[in-house]
């Protein structure tokens, strides 16, 4: 039982409860970079522990009324089979190619971090179009299934995306309000992670001792995070998380054999964070629309 892993679990659990992200986006690179876990086992264990953690978080959000069940259902119709297909591809072709797998994880993290930063800094107008619920006509249902399939496949392959990428889709495609994004994101993630986690279990990629150690921190963490959801301003948390994920992607790239200067892993995210702070200070304040909560939560 590694106390450091418990601390990792606690921190990631808090982020999951508050924002819907943090599972694969942070835990997988932490296990690979700092705990020395093989990439395949890190991905499988991450998916398995995430299923339990996000089930608790999803139940809490369901009780708070922040879950859009319709969107969750139609996303799951695509993401569940997509995630299982991703695990199959991982097991058959990529399990014994750690450098290729690590590069895939790094690219997924990079996409997530850039997307989060772009949303936080340059898509403020999207806030004015946010809505509490989505009218699920035929085109919207087809769109949800297709998005779920693509992002579910990426999740099964790398363990990245159940929170960050799905959360981004809920913002940009379905335009849900921040609290509904977080709740729907966590609830849907619980569904797809059970499918992907069970597939990883069958493949033999789950370390139960490691999973139990992570859960010791992540379960109380997600309870703390859901309790704090109304108290953390998005204007700080969104770009900060984007910078953390950017650093994670660079760190995983070095593990994959890419020759990057050591300073870039910390230096580049710090430079980007400083630039984000300057951009935020330089732009005028925009008042939120009436249906947006006074305190906005950073979904992903």
Tokens 């806030």 correspond to 127
How many domains does the chain divide into?
Answer: 1
In a domain, 265, yes or no: yes
Per-residue pLDDT band at 127 (split at 50, 70, 90): low
Scored b (16 or more CB within 10 A) or e, 8-24 reads bbbbbbbbbbbbbbbbb
Tokens 């590069």 correspond to 103
Scored b (16 or more CB within 10 A) or e, 192-217 reads bbbbbbbbbbebebbbeebbebbbbb
Q: Running DSSP on this structure, what letter comes out for residue 160?
A: -
121 CB-side CA count, 13 A: 22
Give yes or no for a contact between 238 and 264, defined as CB atoms under 8 angstroms apart: no
Q: Can you read off the two tokens belonging to residue 20?
A: 């819907």
In a domain, 111, yes or no: yes
Give yes or no for a contact between 106 and 249, defined as CB atoms under 8 angstroms apart: yes
In a domain, 175, yes or no: yes
Q: List, for residues 165-204, the tens digit of each pLDDT value.
A: 787 788 778 988 877 888 898 899 999 999 999 999 999 9
Per-residue pLDDT band at 128 (split at 50, 70, 90): low
Distance CA 156, CA 87 (A): 5
Give yes or no for a contact between 154 and 160, defined as CB atoms under 8 angstroms apart: yes
Give yes or no for a contact between 1 and 215, defined as CB atoms under 8 angstroms apart: no
In a domain, 272, yes or no: yes
Q: Which residue has the higher pLDDT, 26 or 287?
A: 26
Q: What percent of the chain has pLDDT over 70?
A: 89
DSSP per-residue letters across 223-253 = HHHHHTTTTS-HHHHHHHHHHHHHHHHHHHH
Distance CA 197, CA 214 (A): 15
Q: Can you read off the two tokens belonging to residue 137?
A: 């006509």
Domain that residue 43 falls in: 3-282
pLDDT at 287 over 60: no
Give yes or no for a contact between 200 and 46, defined as CB atoms under 8 angstroms apart: no
Q: What's the chain's Rg over C-alpha atoms?
A: 18
In a domain, 247, yes or no: yes
In a domain, 294, yes or no: no
Helix then strand then coil, in percent of the chain rounded to 5, is 75, 0, 25
Distance CA 123, CA 210 (A): 39
Of the candidate ranges 23-32, 127-136, 206-215, 284-293, the one whose mean pLDDT is the lowest: 284-293
Q: Output the pLDDT for position 123.
A: 66
Per-residue pLDDT band at 124 (split at 50, 70, 90): low
């Amino acid at each position: 039982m590694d106390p450091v892993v418990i601390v990792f679990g606690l921190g990631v659990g808090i982020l999951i409860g508050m924002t819907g992200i943090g599972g694969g986006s942070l835990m997988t690179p932490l296990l690979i970079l700092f705990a020395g876990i093989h990439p395949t086992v890190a991905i499988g264990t991450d998916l398995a522990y995430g299923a339990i953690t996000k089930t608790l978080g999803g139940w809490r959000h369901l009780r708070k009324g922040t879950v859009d069940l319709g969107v969750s259902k139609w996303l799951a119709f695509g993401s569940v089979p997509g995630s299982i297909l991703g695990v199959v591809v991982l097991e058959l072709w990529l399990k014994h190619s750690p450098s290729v797998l690590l590069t895939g994880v790094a690219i997924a993290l990079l996409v997530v971090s850039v997307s989060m930063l772009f949303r936080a800094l340059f898509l403020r107008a999207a806030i004015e179009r946010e809505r509490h619920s989505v009218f699920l006509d035929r085109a919207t249902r087809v769109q949800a299934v297709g998005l779920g399939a693509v992002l579910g496949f990426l999740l099964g392959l790398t363990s990245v995306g159940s929170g960050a990428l799905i959360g981004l889709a809920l913002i940009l495609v379905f335009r849900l309000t921040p609290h509904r994004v977080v709740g729907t994101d966590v609830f849907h993630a619980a569904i797809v992670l059970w499918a992907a986690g069970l597939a990883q279990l069958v493949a033999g990629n789950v370390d139960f001792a490691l999973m139990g150690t992570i859960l010791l921190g992540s379960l109380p963490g997600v309870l703390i995070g859901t309790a704090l959801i109304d108290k953390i301003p998005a204007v700080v948390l969104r770009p900060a998380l984007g910078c953390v994920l950017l650093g994670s992607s660079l760190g995983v790239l070095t593990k994959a054999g890419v020759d990057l200067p050591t300073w870039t892993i910390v230096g580049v995210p710090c430079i980007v964070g400083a630039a984000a702070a300057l951009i935020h200070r330089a732009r005028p304040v925009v008042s939120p629309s009436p249906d947006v909560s006074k305190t906005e939560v950073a979904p992903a």
